[in-house]
Structure 1
Amino acid sequence: MGVSFDLFGTLVTADRPDDPAAAVAAELAKRDVAVPDDWAEAYTEVHVDAPDGAEVPLPAHVSRALASRDVDYDRNAARRAVVAAFDPAVETRSGALDAVDAARERGPVAICSNCSVPELVGRTLVRSEFERDDFDAIVTSVGCGWRKPAPEIFELTADELGVAASDLVHVGDDPRTDGGIDAVGGTAVLLENRSLEGVPERLAALTADEHSSHD
């Protein structure tokens, strides 16, 4: 059995800008990018025709939004502005360390996170109480190109852990996204039904069920 965890809202809380468009605009201006007057509108428009379930990296979206307003800029400015705009204070949630420890007793462990901002998951982990080697794999939507609940991101996570998708247990807080594990035959442990402190007990029960099914 492999176990993956959602990151934001599950293992950690991380603040984010109240107004992402304004936060990105402020960072663009610091980099001498002429932010268009209708930036709030441009930011909300769709600029990349992506398949259903695909992730559009936020720097790519910002670049296309600027291009749609004929703004000339250093191409690296969009990425740098996005990374700077999403630079969170991080708090590790109560019970998170114990939940990951319990998962490690049962097999390999991954993070499987929706995140359109490059570097954000790594910086979040550095600021948390976790160590990088607490996880055998880190799979992000910005890295693999698919967002939960797309089956592809769960299949890739299972592959990274060396288990079948049907043997992957995914712990998360959002049934709309984290519940997508059901589509590939895996098991969702959703925090809407239990506390994070209850995850070790649930994992123990799943392990017992797995063992009894092979008796």
Structure 2
Amino acid sequence: MAISFDLFGTLVDAARPADPAAAVAAELRERGVAVPDDWADAYAEVHIDAPEGAEVPLPAHVSAALRSRGVDAPANAARRAVVAAFDPEVRTRPGAAAAVAAAAERGPVGLFSNCSVPELVARTLIRSDVDRDAFGATVSSVACGWRKPDPQAFETLAGRLDVAPETLVHVGDNRYADGGVSGVGGRFVDATETDFEAFADALRRGASLSEFVSEA
């Protein structure tokens, strides 16, 4: 059995911009980019035709939105603007660090986060109280190209942990996205209904996790 965790809303709470389009626009201007007057509309439009289940990196979306209005961002401005706009303030959720530590005593531990912003997962973990070294694999959708609940997301994580996908017990706060682990034969633990201290205690005792498993 391998245990994997979602990040945002599960292990941590991280503040995000109230108006992402405006936050990105401000950072673009800081980098000398001429932001179009109808930027909010451009940001909201779909510019990249991605396969179902695939992740579109936010810098690629921002660059495409700018090009749709005849604006070219110099060098790596779009990526740097996106990373700066989403630079997080992080609060570790109660019991989360204990749950990860206990899981690491039980077997392989992984993390998979749906996140379209480069560097955000790593920055968030650094600012959290969770031991990053406990994870045998840390995967984000922006890095691997697939979002939960797509089976390829969970198969990628299982491959990085060198385990079969059906052995995954995935802990997350989104029944649709995180519950997608059932599509590869794994089990889902709903973080919104789980006391992490009790979960950690069950892991330390080597107890069955059946009481924590939810139907996706």
Shift of 1:132: 2.5
Aligned length: 209
Q: What amino acid is aligned across from residue 164 of structure 2 in structure 1?
A: A
Deviation at 1:201, TM superposition (A): 5.0
CA drift of 1:196 comes to 2.6
Q: Which residue of structure 2 aligns with residue 212 of structure 1?
A: none
Unaligned runs of 5+ in 1: 210-215
SS of residue matched to 1:70: coil
Q: What residue number does 1:107 align with?
A: 107
Equivalent residue, structure 1, for 2:214: none
Give the distance between the partners of 2:133 and 2:201, measured in 1 at CA. 23
Letter in 1 for 2:90: V
State the match for 1:167 in structure 2.
167
Identity %: 64
Contact 1:2 1:163 in 2 (8 A): yes
- CA-based RMSD: 1.6
Q: What SS class does the counterpart of residue 110 from structure 1 fall into?
A: strand
Instruction: State the alpha-carbon separation in 1 of the partners of residues 52 and 102 from structure 2.
Output: 34
| Aligned equivalents of 1:106, 1:207: Cα separation in 2 | 12
Distance of 2:185 and 2:141 partners within structure 1: 20
Rounded Cα–Cα distance in structure 2 between residues aligned with 1:133 and 1:102: 13
SS of alignment partner, residue 111 of structure 2: strand
Does residue 195 (structure 1) correspond to residue 156 (structure 2)? The answer is: no
Say which SS state the counterpart of residue 91 (structure 1) adopts.
strand
The equivalent of 1:213 in structure 2 is none
Cα 1:202–1:177 change in 2 (3 A) is farther
Q: 1:105 deviation in Å?
A: 1.8
CA gap of 1:45–1:75, structure 2 versus 1, over 3 A, is farther
Deviations 1:76-106 (A, max 9, x none): 1000000000001111111001111221121
1:32-111 to structure 2, matched below 5 A, reads 32-111=32-111
When residues 58 and 14 of structure 1 are mapped into structure 2, their CA distance, relative to the original with a 3 A threshold, is: same
The whole-number CA distance in structure 2 between the counterparts of 1:199 and 1:154 is: 22
Structure 1 residue 163 displacement after superposition: 1.0
Aligned residue identity for 2:34: A
Moved over 6 A (4+): none
Distance 2:209 2:127 in 1: 31
What SS class does the counterpart of residue 76 from structure 2 fall into? helix
SS at match of 2:13: strand
Do the aligned residues in 2 keep the contact of 1:63 with 1:75 (CA within 8 Å)?
A: no
Structure 2 gaps, min length 5: 212-216
Distance 2:77 2:138 in 1: 26
What is the TM-score when the length of structure 2 is the normalising length?
0.92
| Shift of residue 208, structure 1, vs aligned partner | 8.4
Partner SS for 1:34: coil
